[in-house]
DNA sequence: GCCCTATTGCA
DNA sequence: GCAATAGGG
């Protein structure tokens, strides 16, 4: 069917290595780039506050890049299945292209839309773009999915290497008459009353060009120290790519290949290997979500349903959220998060362990807070990693592995630079719980899980 | 991807 | 008295 090609952008806000966009350009018809803000489809999780901030700026950046190339980004809001179908009808489009999603609710939308459009004679095609290995391609010897990371990643690495990234298009010709679009400002994605985004503006530049520069700077300047320093929150040794990958401003294929190239030309084999395995954890989280769609709600290990969470104490939860626990490393992490929409990975593990094991608050409350405050939270990695810390997840830390925030600080922030930066006053506070007593109580509560096994 | 405790070896 | 290490949660 002839007629313009619609590229439905979702978590892939880039023009380089975007197979759906590439396929649209190859059709030779004008291209309509569409983004749908969908808070209505069944089971699709509404974005958190920090995510909305990032999305606003990333969409603005994508629109600017499309305008430089002869078109623009069309914005619509509403349930995606209806909105995309309407856009197809209004534009008399001949094809709709998108990059695949792996959550259950998202797949349901995409599958229904695909069927409906094909019935109307519209070409529909989808592509792999946000994971290096799609969930159904990685199987154990007996055909199961993996539940332990190391064999999972080994199996991935034994598959054919991820394809090379596609080059960035020079032109994206739009139709003579562009379809109607919403005004991005009308979506009110940015906070106004109050405007709490100052720290985010100071910290981040969303958008594809900045994402590419960040990868380059990381590989050129920081890769060498990554393996040794990645666990030190004050070292600045990590890639800071997580939000860029979450929004698809850069593709994992690009990260993969540029990292492999950097390692080939340098002496950073151990660091490159380690960094790629972090991409592997990201893959593992998406695969786990694909096979266990209730990841954000249900314990992956059902015996954890027996865990005796005490009645929620809102003041404890709030002290944690605001960084007022009196535990320096915990407060530093929670304030970094509140200010910047980000937290160093080592500190994420520490604050999560503290919430779950010392405060005995259900991991879901922590997951919700991170969902609302992190710029990089996605529907797979956020719950996956919370379950990992809780002990209820895939290849999780055993429950009895309880982080001691003071020892973690001594080990990974020995000169106290990170704590001094984010929580210089934390030492003056009373600690809201006794680390030793609460650790013991958590170990005793864990007995219920062991009995339920 | 950990922490705690007890024990051992050495001073 | 301390550091290193094993064993177990």
Assess whether pLDDT exceeds 90 at residue A248.
yes
A203 CA → B8 C1’, Å? 51
> If you average pLDDT over residues A362-374, what whole number do you get?
98
Assess whether pLDDT exceeds 90 at residue A363.
yes
pLDDT at A52: 98
Contact A232, A346 (CB under 8 A): yes
A167-209: pLDDT as tens digits: 999 999 999 999 999 999 999 999 999 999 999 999 999 999 9
Kindly report the bases of strand C lying within 7 A of a protein C-beta atom: 9
pLDDT band at A429 (very low <50, low <70, confident <90, very high): confident
A238 CA → C4 C1’, Å? 32
Q: Which nucleotide is nearest to A406 (CA to C1')?
A: B3
Contact A271, A225 (CB under 8 A): yes
In A68-148, alpha helices (H): 80-91, 104-119
For residue A281 the two structure tokens come to 């954890």
Of chain A, the end-to-end C-alpha distance in Å amounts to: 57
A167 CA → C4 C1’, Å? 55
Assess whether pLDDT exceeds 90 at residue A344.
yes
Q: Which nucleotide is nearest to A411 (CA to C1')?
A: B2
Assess whether pLDDT exceeds 90 at residue A267.
no
* Interstrand relation of A73-77 and A31-37 (parallel, antiparallel or unpaired): parallel
A273 CA → B5 C1’, Å? 36
Q: How far apart are alpha carbons A41 and A77 in whole angstroms?
A: 11
pLDDT at A5: 98
> If you average pLDDT over residues A386-406, what whole number do you get?
94
Whether the bond between A52 and the residue before it is cis, its omega within 30 degrees of 0, is no
pLDDT band at A426 (very low <50, low <70, confident <90, very high): confident
pLDDT at A452: 85
- Under DSSP, is residue A392 helix (H, G, I), strand (E, B) or coil? coil
A199-208: pLDDT as tens digits: 999 999 999 9
A144-163: pLDDT as tens digits: 999 999 999 999 999 999 99
A344 Cβ nearer than 7 Å to chain B strand: no
Adjacent-strand bridge partners of A96: A6, A124
Contact A299, A316 (CB under 8 A): no
Assess whether pLDDT exceeds 90 at residue A11.
yes
A278 Cβ nearer than 7 Å to chain B strand: yes
A403 CA → B2 C1’, Å? 6
A93 CA → C7 C1’, Å? 67
Q: Which residues touch strand C (CB under 7 A)?
A: A 398, 400-402, 443, 446
A447 CA → B1 C1’, Å? 23
Assess whether pLDDT exceeds 90 at residue A266.
no
Phi, psi of A21 (to 5 degrees): -65, -40
Q: How far apart are alpha carbons A386 and A301 in whole angstroms?
A: 13
Reference A17, options A310, A292, A251; nearest CA is: A251
Which residues 279-308 in chain A have a CB closer than 7 A to strand B? 281
Longest dimension (CA), chain A: 70
| Count of residues in chain A | 453
Q: How far apart are alpha carbons A393 and A298 in whole angstroms?
A: 10
A398 CA → B6 C1’, Å? 22
The answer to pTM > 0.75 is: yes
Q: Which nucleotide is nearest to A349 (CA to C1')?
A: B1
A436 Cβ nearer than 7 Å to chain B strand: yes
Phi, psi of A390 (to 5 degrees): -60, -25
Kindly report the bases of strand B lying within 7 A of a protein C-beta atom: 1-4
A389 CA → C4 C1’, Å? 29
Which residues 396-415 in chain A have a CB closer than 7 A to strand B? 397, 400-404, 407-408, 411
pLDDT at A162: 97
Q: Read off the DSSP letter of residue A93.
A: -
Helices A104-119 + A80-91 axis angle, to 10: 30
Assess whether pLDDT exceeds 90 at residue A428.
no
A421 CA → C3 C1’, Å? 32
Assess whether pLDDT exceeds 90 at residue A386.
yes
pLDDT at A453: 82
Contact A108, A79 (CB under 8 A): no
A285-317: pLDDT as tens digits: 999 999 999 999 999 999 999 999 999 999 999
A384 Cβ nearer than 7 Å to chain B strand: no
A382 Cβ nearer than 7 Å to chain B strand: no
Assess whether pLDDT exceeds 90 at residue A433.
yes
Q: Which nucleotide is nearest to A277 (CA to C1')?
A: B1
Q: Which nucleotide is nearest to A400 (CA to C1')?
A: C9
pLDDT at A338: 98
Contact A254, A16 (CB under 8 A): yes
Contact A205, A54 (CB under 8 A): no
For residue A245 the two structure tokens come to 């990958």
Q: Which nucleotide is nearest to A402 (CA to C1')?
A: B2
Q: Which nucleotide is nearest to A396 (CA to C1')?
A: B1
- Under DSSP, is residue A195 helix (H, G, I), strand (E, B) or coil? coil
Phi, psi of A247 (to 5 degrees): -90, 0
Query: Which domains does chain A show, CATH number per domain?
Result: 1-129 (3.40.50.620), 131-161+208-291 (1.25.40.80), 302-452 (1.10.579.10)
Compute the CA torsion angle A366, A368, A371, A377 (nearest 10 deg). Answer: 60
Assess whether pLDDT exceeds 90 at residue A71.
yes
With 0-12 CB in 10 A as exposed, 13-18 as middle and 19+ as buried, what is A437? exposed
> If you average pLDDT over residues A53-59, what whole number do you get?
98
pLDDT at A365: 97
A436 CA → C8 C1’, Å? 18
Contact A383, A292 (CB under 8 A): no
Q: What does pLDDT average to over chain A? A: 96
Which residues 143-162 in chain A have a CB closer than 7 A to strand B? 149
Cα dist from A97 to A4, A264, A346, whole Å: 11, 35, 38
pLDDT at A227: 93
Phi, psi of A31 (to 5 degrees): -110, 130
Residue A17 C-beta-side C-alpha neighbours within 13 Å: 24
> If you average pLDDT over residues A233-255, what whole number do you get?
98
pLDDT at A77: 98
Which residue, counting CA atoms, is nearest to the C1' of nucleotide C9?
A: A400
Choice among A39-43, A98-102, A143-147 with the minimum mean pLDDT = A143-147
What is the per-residue burial (b if ≥16 Cβ within 10 Å, else e) of A329-363?
bbbbbbbbbbbbbbbbebbbbbbbbbbbbbbbbbb
- DSSP H/E element including A370: helix A363-373
Rounded to 5°, the CA angle A211-A214-A218 comes to 145
pLDDT at A237: 96
């Amino acid at each position: 069917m002839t007629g313009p090609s619609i590229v439905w952008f979702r978590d892939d806000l880039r023009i380089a290595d975007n197979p759906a966009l590439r396929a649209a350009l190859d059709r030779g018809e004008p291209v309509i780039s569409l983004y749908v803000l969908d808070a209505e489809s069944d089971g699709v999780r509404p974005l958190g506050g920090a995510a909305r901030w990032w999305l606003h700026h990333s969409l603005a950046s994508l629109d600017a890049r499309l305008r430089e190339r002869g078109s623009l980004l069309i914005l619509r809001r509403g349930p995606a299945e209806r909105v995309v179908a309407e856009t197809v009808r209004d534009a008399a489009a001949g094809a709709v292209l998108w990059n695949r999603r792996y959550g259950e609710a998202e797949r349901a939308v995409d599958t229904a839309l695909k069927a409906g459009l094909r019935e109307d004679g519209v070409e529909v095609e989808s592509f792999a773009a946000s994971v290096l290995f799609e969930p159904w391609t990685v199987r154990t010897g007996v055909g199961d999915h993996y539940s332990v990371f190391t064999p999972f990643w080994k199996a991935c690495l034994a598959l054919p290497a991820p394809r090379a990234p596609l080059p960035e298009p020079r032109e994206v010709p739009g139709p003579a008459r562009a379809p109607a679009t919403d005004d991005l400002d009308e979506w009110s994605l940015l906070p106004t009353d109050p405007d709490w985004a100052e720290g985010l503006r100071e910290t981040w530049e969303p958008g594809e060009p900045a994402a590419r520069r960040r990868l380059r700077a990381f590989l050129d300047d920081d890769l060498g120290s990554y393996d040794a320093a990645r666990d030190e929150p004050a070292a600045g040794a990590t890639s800071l790519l997580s939000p860029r990958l979450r929004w698809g401003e850069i593709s994992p294929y690009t990260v993969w290949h540029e990292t492999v190239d950097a390692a080939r030309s340098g002496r950073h084999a151990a660091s490159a290997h380690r960094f790629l395995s972090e991409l592997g954890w990201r893959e593992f989280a998406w695969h786990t979500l694909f096979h266990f769609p209730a990841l954000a709600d249900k314990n992956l290990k059902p015996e954890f349903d027996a865990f005796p969470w005490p009645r929620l104490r809102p003041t404890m939860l709030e002290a944690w959220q605001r960084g007022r626990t009196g535990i320096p490393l915990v407060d530093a992490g929670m304030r970094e998060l509140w200010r910047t929409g980000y937290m160093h990975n080592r500190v994420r593990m520490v604050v999560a362990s503290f919430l779950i094991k010392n405060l005995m608050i259900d991991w879901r409350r922590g997951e919700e807070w991170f969902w609302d405050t992190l710029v990089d939270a996605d529907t797979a990695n956020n719950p996956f990693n919370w379950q990992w810390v809780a002990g209820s997840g895939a290849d999780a830390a055993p429950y009895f592995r309880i982080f001691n925030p003071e020892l973690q600080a001594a080990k990974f922030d020995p000169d106290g630079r990170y704590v001094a930066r984010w929580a210089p006053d934390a030492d003056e506070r009373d600690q809201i719980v006794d680390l030793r007593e609460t650790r013991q109580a958590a170990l005793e509560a864990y007995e219920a899980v062991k009995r339920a096994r």
